[in-house]
A and B are shown apart, each in its own frame.
Chain A
Amino acid sequence: MSPLNPDNPRMNDDELADLRARLDTLQGPDFWRSLEEFAGTEAFHRYLQRAYPRQASAWNPAMDRRAFLSLMGASLALAGLSGCTLHQPREQIVPYIDQPDGLTPGRPQFFATAIPHNGYAQGALVTSREGRPIKVEGNPLHPATLGRSDAWMQASVLSLYDPDRSQAVVHLGQPGTWDDFFQALTAQMTALQATRGAGLRLLTGTVTSPTLAAQIGAILAQYPQARWHVWEPVGRDSVHAAARQAFGTEASTLYRFDQADVILSLDGDFLLSLPGHVRYASDFAARRRVRQGQTAMNRLYMLESVPTITGAMADFRLPVRTSRIPEATATLARALGVTVPGGYTEVLPEAWIRHAVADLQAHPGASIVVAGDHQPQEVHVLAHAMNAQLGNVGKTVVYTDPVEANVTMQAGSLVELVRDLQAGQVQTLLMWDTNPVYTAPTDLDFAGALSRVAFSAHLSQYEDETSALCQWHLPETHILEAWSDARAYDGTISLIQPLLAPLYATRTAHELLEAVRLKPSRSAHDIVRDAWQSRRNGEDFGLFWRKTLHDGLIAGSAAPPKNVTLLPNAVTALPPAPAASGLELQFAPDPTIWDGRFANNGWLQELPKPLTKLTWDNALLVSPKTAAQWNLNRQMDTDGRHPNRVDSIAIRAGSRRLTAPVWIVPGHPDDAVTLTLGYGRARCGRIGTETGVNAYVVRASDALWFVPDVEITRTGETYPLACTHTHHTMEGRDLIRVSDIAEFRRKPDVIHEHERAPERPESLIPDWRYPNEAWGMSIDTNVCIGCNACVVACQAENNIPIVGKDEVERGREMHWLRIDRYYTGSLNQPQGTYFLPVPCMHCETAPCELVCPVGATVHDRDGLNEMIYNRCVGTRYCSNNCPYKVRRFNFFHYAGGQPDPDKLNANYDNPIIKLVANPEVTIRSRGVMEKCTYCIQRIQNARIDAEVENRPLRDGEIRTACQQACPTNAIVFGNINDPNSEVARAKAQPHNYGLLTELNTRPRTTYLARFTHRSQEEAG
């Protein structure tokens, strides 16, 4: 446990061996969180540094005259907004709940809509307060969400009120108007009519909207020479290509995880990245929930190139580089009896294959082989073949017609567009829902090609990289202000209705396309409504319209299962794999800001990434072994401003290079580095600009997901990263308890074996009695997938400010709910990765209450530990005495944008942002403590309702924000006095335990233990 030796900061092989030896001696509940398992391993961390991205922004929003003018104009326009002039859309929209006489002031309304993610609709139910949407939940009727949500849905309200959103038309850098644009467009289109649309190109993201597709179709019919290109940086080309290769027809694959006993994931992050991930997470968890007498669990095998939350849930996980996944898949397929022509290297351990294959074969028709979208089409074809071989098709794996309106090879489509651009064959380019200047493969030089277009217009919510290079930038309506429709992963069609009239002079893509058809005056409402009216001939359209808006979806619109058969020669030889020796650069969508579209969302920027717990930056992720080979360093600034200052390294892929900081991730495959997309934005607003490293600059059209044989060089520079968990080990404390399910079946109290003290020591003082309700929470760590939906939901519900990178580095993040992450096993191949959400425990004998000198934190009659903000004087003693460290302190006036008003867009003093605030939750001022309240505002609302209706509170009537958002139902809240409540039943489970109960805190929040399903023994 030698301290860091400054003379020799590098860990040599002996030390590494020593470290491994020490790790091997760990037994039982010796969990570790990462590489600092022992104090000595601090020397192990070596990281790199990197300067800020070179593309220094030429556009400084604070200085720019035009930005100043537009902000000025907006603030004048919005000065009234913060008063009472905010209005609902002019058109009729339908509240979800039964509202007899319209809006009751002070009562929220709920509207069903849908929020597309990567093009696929996710059914949402939005809470609206006096005409302003403040909270997004899943729509319980919607198959993609089932009332659940993810972090992106939760954060979408903040984007709506982002003051950096584009608010006006910009023409060649000068303010313009929509009328100017329509005039110019009309002239352009009139000219195009003569050439039947030659030179007219559309570039979009994935489109699933039937109405939009119909509009595009109409344009293409009117202008037969026009072309429609699609580019999505996190695209699904290989999925579509594989379907064509395997079945000879277009097909989408849906999975029924609720019916699968054994799942083999080939780098498929179905819990966070695949379309329908919220539903998949819910289905997956349904087969993992353990209760007494119900101990059957599914089993997940996973090959993973980039550690994801899906891999964290796997019972058997192998880190495999992206380039090796095809070989690994082929090995598995062959073992399953699929004929794979050609030769390849077998890269998987034989025992692993045997185990997985035997298990899959033992569950025919009840297993799933799922491949990651980014994997090459051969892998998908093999997955189809394996599913067919296992008899899963039609049972756990269902094929449908594609949901996308234009199933095209996007990369090819984009290449084609660029080629035509460069050839000068494109006169008119209209783009929306895409940002190709930033996201297009770097070899295409989209920016250069774009400059050759005579008429380019870009509809987007931000004046971004692409807008800057177009003649026309058009401000786009946010999805919560827009009329539209979209299809979910399974084809279900949702109508998207606005929650409020557009805040700015923005338009939707529908309106833009109508303008292309020379009908610029039609509103999106009319367009969408008319489109549906024409489709719904002969029925009571009014009723249909109202019901669809109310429900948020068209019942029965899911794509029907499609009968497809595997073509006999579908499985072809694998493409040659790159040389085994080289270092590989892998790309992945970012778990918080995805492909960069959420870069200006402060909630998502400050959201700790599920596994690395980094905020505000991406980093090159490497395995501990590879990092050791590179002698990477991690150090602290002497002034402590940057406790995680890591080495930056330069990566060179052919002629392209970038410099990025390095972060070590246990379980990352060796000889590979991963960089997530979405960072290094040059123009996206004040939050997202100058965060992280732009991965797109090394991403080429022929190597979208990995670049083989990259070279690295140390730069000698360092870069500070903001990590919310600076200490990574659990120090042998049994904070998360894990057991194998077989052991649990034999010994139901297995997880209590290591407890040091009784949960409730003898006392002469009688227990305090709670005659009414006693609120409690149970968190099932066995189904917690660490997806962060709860964290953002809590932030949205409780007006939790963001604090900025510097303050996170200082250790002052404000999240009331944090998700701890632990590892077991060896450094390079952790056996398990576990998540532990930690909200306030609401201890019955709360240590915080004892020490508060002014009684600002007290118990209420239901046993809640309450925080009285306006009594708090800020001694912070309560936080010191809280063993769970769940209290958060306003060191600055964070809610007012302090300490850096320019960088924080969650500043509730801002007239626009303040609209997002939940009026039922106090905005905390500087100098007061805050923490999880169990969403007391929701408790009180339900109680008032119950009292008005003169009935007792019902179980399940109150749902906390985290509970409501959780896609896997891991969080249960309710009255523990009622033995029949769900929470009381959860707490009665033998695997229920409390954190640090030996301190006699008697927490009201307890946990259900995590189980692995590694032994082959099945439930009796």
Chain B
Amino acid sequence: MADLERLEQGHGLDRPAPVLEPGQTFASVEEKISDLVLKRPLHPGWLFGFGLAFAVTMLLLYALTWLLIKGVGIWGVNIPVAWGFAIANFVWWIGIGHAGTLISAILLLLNQKWRTSINRFAEAMTLFAVACAGLFPLFHMGRPWAFYWLLPYPNTMSLWPQFRSPLVWDCFAVGTYFTVSLLFWYQGLLPDLAAMRDRARHPWAHVVYGFLALGWRGSAIHWKFYETGYWLLAALATPLVVSVHSIVSMDFAVAQVPGWHSTIFPPYFVAGAILSGFAMVLTLSIPLRKFYGLEAFVTQRHLENMAKVLLVTSLIVAYGYAEETLMAWYSGDPYDWYIIVNRAFGGYGFAYWLLLACNVLVPQTLWFRKARTNIAWLFVLSLIVQLGMWTERVVIVVQSLHRDFMPSAWQTYYPTFWDWATLFGTIGLFAALFFLFIRVLPMISIHEVQELAHEAEGARAENPDVGKIAGAEA
């Protein structure tokens, strides 16, 4: 992140846009954000969006039900391509989740104040993305009802998971990740839930928010424990940002399949995860700030910073692609080299060039400030990057498998309707959850923005207060 700072400073910008538009007070912040939930009437746009997302979620249910009835053969998987869209989607969704944790935990520890107004919905995004991701390894199993055999639970037969398998590590990694993300998100919500409780007029809302607020009263001792807990969780979540996708990448790196068996995979996967994750945050935040009038909280500065992160991670990912190719050639391994050549020129070649264009070429526009400040372009670009990252996952999973060691066994994988239905179904589920989230919870952290406003006020009053956060850090 120091790079990020340097990048930011070395770019010689006149003056970075503020992380909070001036003129916000404690009261205005709380009112603005909580009213989105409590006072804003049910908007037809929301209804339409949620309805659409819900319909697509039903498609997911339909696809999964059919899967359970018929078997995993309704997908396009075969031998040798025994993993298809499901695992690619899993990796993609997990990757998307990473940006949320990165924003909330790492940027918190690094004292990046611009994270404050985007961390809440980024964390929600993480949770929902991990939930979507989790569906895939579960349902791609031949016998999903036996999923718990991957967990070390006591049983009369003294059977344990096979701990050398990266899939077991996956179970732990994803499980831990989901748990920590949930706790972190929920704890961050507590003061805001209390604020909602206090502002809610409807008795039921009052009760529900009150229940969820766990008796938060905002006393000094609450804040003391809160801060300690929050920073501890942030510290706990930080390694997860790196470790979860590293372990996911080991599903591939540990196997000896050409195109998978590579030591570059963990960092390369993490960078890709952050790339797609930040793209998703952009995808979500741009419409949100527009439709909910949150330009004051999610400013040009946020968008520009995220664009810079995209650029950096895109470069890391590009390095990964180059490294992979170089090592395949340099190792002299004919199988690896075959895969790399086939990746570019084989049957799935179009996907490889598509991912290069989406993940490497198009993000290079972000070198230009004009592009970084063009909100419409950022939105389009965020979608392009997500398409690119999804394609990359598919290429890694499918293309590598379809041309491995024994040419006599080679087959090509084609997705079926059910593959697509499951993919889009999870997008629908994700969107539906997100629509619900923005409808019932404060999508921006009220108390943290208040803190920002306080600091901004202090700064304006020429009171060089370093701020509570710095104090807590000490």
Answer yes or no: A640 CB below 8 A from chain B CBs.
yes
B166 surroundings in chain A (CB, below 8 A): 851
B143 and A853 within 8 A (CB)? no
Instruction: Report the bound CA distance from A728 to B407 in whole Å.
Output: 7
- B58-97 interface with A by 8 A CB criterion: 70-73, 76-83
Among B77, B146, B165, B405, the residue within 8 A (CB) of A884 is B405
B256 and A883 within 8 A (CB)? yes
Given the known inter-chain contacts A851-B166, A851-B255, A852-B162, please indicate yes or no for A899 contacting B72, CB distance below 8 A: no
Interface size of A by Cβ–Cβ distance < 8 Å?
Answer: 65
Task: Type the 1/0 row for B308-327, where 1 means its CB is closer than 8 Å to any CB of A.
Answer: 00000000000000000000
B415 surroundings in chain A (CB, below 8 A): 640
B171 surroundings in chain A (CB, below 8 A): 853
The residue of chain B having its C-beta at the shortest distance from the C-beta of A884 within the complex is B406
The residue of chain A having its C-beta at the shortest distance from the C-beta of B401 within the complex is A880
- B323-373 interface with A by 8 A CB criterion: 334, 338, 342, 345-346, 349
Among B167, B168, B407, the residue within 8 A (CB) of A730 is B407
A interface: dominant SS: loop
Residue from B160, B409, B412 having most chain A Cβ neighbours under 10 A: B409
Binds B, one of A340-348, A430-438, A889-897: A889-897
A838 and B406 within 8 A (CB)? yes
A1 and B404 within 8 A (CB)? no
Task: Type the 1/0 row for A701-736, where 1 means its CB is closer than 8 Å to any CB of B.
Answer: 000000000000000000000000111111111010
Instruction: Report the bound CA distance from A874 to B71 in whole Å.
Output: 11
Binds B, one of A213-221, A466-474, A926-934: A926-934
B150 and A850 within 8 A (CB)? no
Among B71, B150, B349, B405, the residue within 8 A (CB) of A893 is B71
Answer yes or no: B141 CB below 8 A from chain A CBs.
yes
B78 and A810 within 8 A (CB)? yes
B407 and A727 within 8 A (CB)? yes
Task: Type the 1/0 row for B125-160, where 1 means its CB is closer than 8 Å to any CB of A.
Answer: 000000000000100111110110110000000011
Cβ distance A813 to chain B, nearest Cβ, rounded Å: 8
B338 and A873 within 8 A (CB)? no
Residue from B73, B140, B159, B164 having most chain A Cβ neighbours under 10 A: B73
- A871-894 interface with B by 8 A CB criterion: 871-877, 879-881, 883-885, 887-893
A928 and B142 within 8 A (CB)? yes
The residue of chain A having its C-beta at the shortest distance from the C-beta of B78 within the complex is A811
Cβ distance B96 to chain A, nearest Cβ, rounded Å: 23
B150 and A879 within 8 A (CB)? no
B406 and A879 within 8 A (CB)? no
The residue of chain A having its C-beta at the shortest distance from the C-beta of B252 within the complex is A880
A725 and B79 within 8 A (CB)? no
B141 and A643 within 8 A (CB)? no
A898 and B76 within 8 A (CB)? no
Among A643, A810, A889, A926, the residue within 8 A (CB) of B82 is A889
Residue from B146, B254, B345, B413 having most chain A Cβ neighbours under 10 A: B146
Answer yes or no: A999 CB below 8 A from chain B CBs.
yes
B82 and A880 within 8 A (CB)? yes
Cβ distance A244 to chain B, nearest Cβ, rounded Å: 47
Given the known inter-chain contacts A733-B405, A811-B79, A891-B77, please indicate yes or no for A641 contacting B414, CB distance below 8 A: yes
Given the known inter-chain contacts A853-B150, A875-B167, please indicate yes or no for A880 contacting B83, CB distance below 8 A: yes
Task: Type the 1/0 row for A1-42, where 1 means its CB is closer than 8 Å to any CB of B.
Answer: 101000000000000000000000000000001000001000
Interface size of B by Cβ–Cβ distance < 8 Å?
Answer: 58
Answer yes or no: A847 CB below 8 A from chain B CBs.
yes
Answer yes or no: B411 CB below 8 A from chain A CBs.
yes
The residue of chain A having its C-beta at the shortest distance from the C-beta of B405 within the complex is A883
A949 surroundings in chain B (CB, below 8 A): none
Cβ distance B83 to chain A, nearest Cβ, rounded Å: 6
Answer yes or no: A101 CB below 8 A from chain B CBs.
no
Cβ distance A128 to chain B, nearest Cβ, rounded Å: 34
Answer yes or no: B291 CB below 8 A from chain A CBs.
no
B403 surroundings in chain A (CB, below 8 A): 727
Task: Type the 1/0 row for B244-269, where 1 means its CB is closer than 8 Å to any CB of A.
Answer: 00000001001111000000000000
Given the known inter-chain contacts A731-B338, A853-B161, A880-B401, please indicate yes or no for A885 contacting B406, CB distance below 8 A: yes
Answer yes or no: B223 CB below 8 A from chain A CBs.
no
Instruction: Report the bound CA distance from A926 to B146 in whole Å.
Output: 13
Answer yes or no: B408 CB below 8 A from chain A CBs.
yes
B405 surroundings in chain A (CB, below 8 A): 733, 883-885, 996, 999
Answer yes or no: B377 CB below 8 A from chain A CBs.
no
Answer yes or no: A184 CB below 8 A from chain B CBs.
no
Instruction: Report the bound CA distance from A365 to B421 in whole Å.
Output: 71
Instruction: Report the bound CA distance from A765 to B410 in whole Å.
Output: 34
A887 and B79 within 8 A (CB)? yes
Instruction: Report the bound CA distance from A855 to B255 in whole Å.
Output: 16
Cβ distance A641 to chain B, nearest Cβ, rounded Å: 7
Task: Type the 1/0 row for A988-1020, where 1 means its CB is closer than 8 Å to any CB of B.
Answer: 000000011001000000000000000000000
Instruction: Report the bound CA distance from A981 to B30 in whole Å.
Output: 85
A733 and B167 within 8 A (CB)? no
A885 and B79 within 8 A (CB)? yes
Cβ distance B162 to chain A, nearest Cβ, rounded Å: 4
B71 and A898 within 8 A (CB)? yes
B interface: dominant SS: loop
B73 and A812 within 8 A (CB)? yes
B160 surroundings in chain A (CB, below 8 A): 855
Instruction: Report the bound CA distance from A354 to B161 in whole Å.
Output: 68
Among A3, A838, A850, A885, the residue within 8 A (CB) of B404 is A885
Cβ distance A986 to chain B, nearest Cβ, rounded Å: 22
Given the known inter-chain contacts A850-B254, A853-B168, A893-B71, please indicate yes or no for A812 contacting B147, CB distance below 8 A: no
Answer yes or no: A540 CB below 8 A from chain B CBs.
no
Given the known inter-chain contacts A847-B255, A884-B406, please indicate yes or no for A874 contacting B165, CB distance below 8 A: no
Instruction: Report the bound CA distance from A876 to B139 in whole Å.
Output: 12
A925 surroundings in chain B (CB, below 8 A): 143
Cβ distance B350 to chain A, nearest Cβ, rounded Å: 9
Among A643, A890, A898, A929, the residue within 8 A (CB) of B412 is A643
Given the known inter-chain contacts A727-B410, A884-B406, A927-B71, please indicate yes or no for A850 contacting B257, CB distance below 8 A: no
Answer yes or no: A686 CB below 8 A from chain B CBs.
no
Answer yes or no: A639 CB below 8 A from chain B CBs.
yes
B406 and A874 within 8 A (CB)? no
A880 and B80 within 8 A (CB)? yes
Task: Type the 1/0 row for B442-472, where 1 means its CB is closer than 8 Å to any CB of A.
Answer: 0000000000000000000000000000000
The residue of chain A having its C-beta at the shortest distance from the C-beta of B412 within the complex is A643
Among B71, B76, B254, the residue within 8 A (CB) of A926 is B71
Among A33, A881, A928, the residue within 8 A (CB) of B257 is A881
B338 surroundings in chain A (CB, below 8 A): 731
B167 surroundings in chain A (CB, below 8 A): 851, 853, 875, 877
Answer yes or no: A148 CB below 8 A from chain B CBs.
no
Answer yes or no: A373 CB below 8 A from chain B CBs.
no
B408 and A820 within 8 A (CB)? yes
B409 surroundings in chain A (CB, below 8 A): 818, 884-885
A727 and B77 within 8 A (CB)? no
Cβ distance A624 to chain B, nearest Cβ, rounded Å: 19
Task: Type the 1/0 row for B400-433, where 1 means its CB is closer than 8 Å to any CB of A.
Answer: 0101111111111111100000000000000000
Task: Type the 1/0 row for A830-858, where 1 means its CB is closer than 8 Å to any CB of B.
Answer: 00000010100000000100111111000
Given the known inter-chain contacts A1-B345, A726-B411, please indicate yes or no for A891 contacting B71, CB distance below 8 A: yes
A891 and B72 within 8 A (CB)? yes
Answer yes or no: A636 CB below 8 A from chain B CBs.
yes
Instruction: Report the bound CA distance from A884 to B140 in whole Å.
Output: 23
Answer yes or no: A232 CB below 8 A from chain B CBs.
no
Cβ distance B332 to chain A, nearest Cβ, rounded Å: 9
26 residue pairs bridging A and B, Cβ less than 8 Å apart: A3-B345, A807-B73, A810-B76, A811-B79, A811-B412, A836-B408, A850-B254, A851-B166, A855-B160, A855-B162, A873-B142, A873-B143, A873-B146, A876-B83, A877-B165, A880-B401, A881-B257, A883-B405, A884-B405, A884-B406, A891-B71, A891-B77, A927-B71, A929-B142, A995-B406, A996-B405
- 9 closest pairs, A vs B, by CB? A874-B142, A640-B414, A927-B142, A891-B73, A811-B411, A811-B78, A885-B409, A876-B82, A853-B167
